[in-house]
Amino acid sequence: MHLVELLFVSSLSVATFALDNGLMRVPPMGWLAWERYRCDIDCDHDPKNCISENLFMDMADRLSEDGWRELGYVYVNIDDCWSSMKRDDNGRLQADPKRFPGGIHKLARYMHDRGLKLGIYGDMGTHTCGGYPGTTLDKIELDAQTFADWEVDMFKFDGCYSNATEQEQGYPLMSKALNATGRPIGYSCSWPAYQGGLPPKVNYTQLGEICNLWRNYGDIQDSWDSVLKIINWFFENQNVLVSAAGPGKWNDPDMLIAGDFGLSMEQSRSQMAIWAMMAAPLFMSNDLRTINSGARSILQNKIAISINQDPMGIPGRSILKEKSGIDVYWRPLSKNASALVFFSRRNDMPTDTRLPSANSTTPQAATRSMMSSRRRP
């Protein structure tokens, strides 16, 4: 019981040091192109599935018409490979004119007209990871202003083609430059993923002051293997990562891949449950035009979403690893509630499992007694 109160108090004191742009007090939710669509720019060959304004408008239509927006999925985010290979005559980034004939500003308007938000991608370095023009230190203010002029709502700053010294300067500079535009723009930093994700190289106190979210670890791929690797890394390092997160500042274990090709329904459900426990940003990367009803109902699960969006913003922890292959995760929630997830690593058969103190009177009491018996000083 005291543990719950203690965590509550500490989250309040930490929250005051979050990036002061008023955004993302709960983990952001939406759709992001990368895992499903990558750099697919061959629109002649595959007009429906290429990185173009039509793809993003289609996803916006689905988000606003199929019940996603009301659940909180409001960001539509462009990833790499959107831009022209050349900056314009004034040195500004510009969208590829063939694939985005209307331009990014018009696309942002399209989102705003539907109660949605537009996110865009850039890279701290000479080139983006896909080889498009990057944002070197001298271009940071110009690019931040360009995104603000386009009325973009979120910006993911990748880190290919730069060294540690440039990143150390560039990520805080971009935070200042975004602020200076006067437009609230959610700021996603890939910086820690390029520093190995852990202290002493990563300073999570600083990250929380300059970014709204950050990618700590490698990219997700469309496989259960990839999901498990991410889960393992985040919980092996939970003592560092849990305290790094809070309202306005989130660890980002990367996209939700339910509705793609690599996960079974049970595996999709498991990813959703663990992402909810981690207080992870919920960015789906799938095709919302053709998603099946099973994947849709997992991603639209109101209980999972309300756990993910808990206003206290304290990520969950792994509290138990049973020899039988069952992990237990616990997350404290507001109003004295908490969430438990039982996660099976078994691949032989279904299994029956129960809490060690299942004879206690309430689930909450059971959780508490488990926590106090397992907690470390």
Q: Are 73 and 65 in contact (CB under 8 A)?
A: no
The yes or no reply on residue 165 touching ligand NAG (CB under 6 A) is: yes
Nearer to ligand NAG (CB atom), residue 284 or residue 307: 307
360 binds ligand NAG (CB under 6 A): yes
**Does residue 357 interact with ligand NAG by CB under 6 A?**
yes
Residue 237 contacts ligand NAG per CB under 6 A: no
Distance (Å, rounded) from C-alpha 29 to C-alpha 198?
Answer: 25
Annotation says 219 is catalytic = yes
Alpha helices of 84-203 — where are they, by DSSP H? 103-113, 140-149, 164-180, 191-194
Single out the segment in contact with ligand NAG by CB under 6 A; choices: 204-212, 266-274, 284-292, 321-329.
204-212
When binding is defined by CB under 6 A, the residue of 141, 166, 168, 222 that contacts ligand NAG is 166
Taking CB under 6 A as the rule, does residue 353 contact ligand NAG? no
Residue placing its CB nearer to ligand NAG in the complex, 267 or 369: 369
Residue at token pair 């070197």: 136
Element (H, E) at 302: helix 302-308
CB 282 within 8 A of CB 311: no
**Per the structure block, which two tokens stand in for 270?**
């498991």
Distance CA 109, CA 180 (A): 22
- Bridge partners of 252, per DSSP, are 215
Which residue is catalytic, options 61, 66, 149, 219?
219
Distance between start and end Cα atoms, the chain = 15
Q: Which of 80, 153, 158, 260 is catalytic?
A: 158
Nearer to ligand NAG, 21 or 237 (CB): 21
Q: Which stretch binds ligand NAG (CB under 6 A): 6-14, 85-93, 109-117, 161-169?
A: 161-169
- Which contiguous run of DSSP H or E holds residue 30? strand 29-32
Piece of the chain touching ligand NAG by CB under 6 A; list 37-45, 198-206, 242-250, 257-265: 198-206
- The one-character DSSP state at 316 is P
Among 179, 267, 300, 306, binds ligand NAG (CB under 6 A): 179
Does 20 help bind ligand NAG (rule: CB under 6 A)?
A: yes
3-state secondary structure of 133: strand
Q: Which stretch binds ligand NAG (CB under 6 A): 83-91, 158-166, 230-238, 347-355?
A: 158-166
Residue 95 per-residue DSSP state:
B
- DSSP bridge partners of 124: 135
Q: How many residues does the chain have?
A: 377
Applying CB under 6 A, among 297, 336, 351, 353 the residue interacting with ligand NAG is: 336
- Tell which residue, 317, 290, 153, has the closest CA to residue 234: 317
Q: Does 169 interact with ligand NAG (rule: CB under 6 A)?
A: no
> What tokens appear for 88 in the block?
């314009």
Residues 266-325 close enough to bind ligand NAG by CB under 6 A: none
Which part of the chain contacts ligand NAG (CB under 6 A), choosing from 62-70, 240-248, 301-309, 354-362? 354-362
Closest to 244 (Cα-Cα) out of 284, 299, 283, 189: 189
Q: Residue 11 pairs with which residues in a beta bridge?
A: none
- Token readout for 25 is 């007090």
- Residue 232 binds ligand NAG (CB under 6 A): no
Among positions 9, 13, 182, 349, the unique one binding ligand NAG when judged by CB under 6 A: 182
Q: Which of 205, 232, 353, 373 binds ligand NAG (CB under 6 A)?
A: 205
With CA atoms as reference, report the closest residue to 305 among 337, 335, 279, 324: 279
Question: Binding to ligand NAG (CB under 6 A): which residues in 54-73?
Answer: none
Please state the closest distance from residue 361 (CB atom) to ligand NAG, in A.
8
Q: Could you tell me the two tokens for 323?
A: 């020899």
| CA–CA distance, 37 with 259 (Å, rounded to integer) | 13
> Residue 369, interface with ligand NAG (CB under 6 A)?
yes
Residue 116 beta carbon to ligand NAG: minimum distance, rounded to whole angstroms: 20
163 binding ligand NAG? (CB under 6 A): yes
Indicate which residues carry an active-site annotation: 158, 219
Residues of the shown chain interacting with ligand NAG in the complex, contacts defined by CB under 6 A:
1, 20-21, 163, 165-166, 179, 182-184, 203, 205-206, 209, 335-336, 357, 359-360, 369
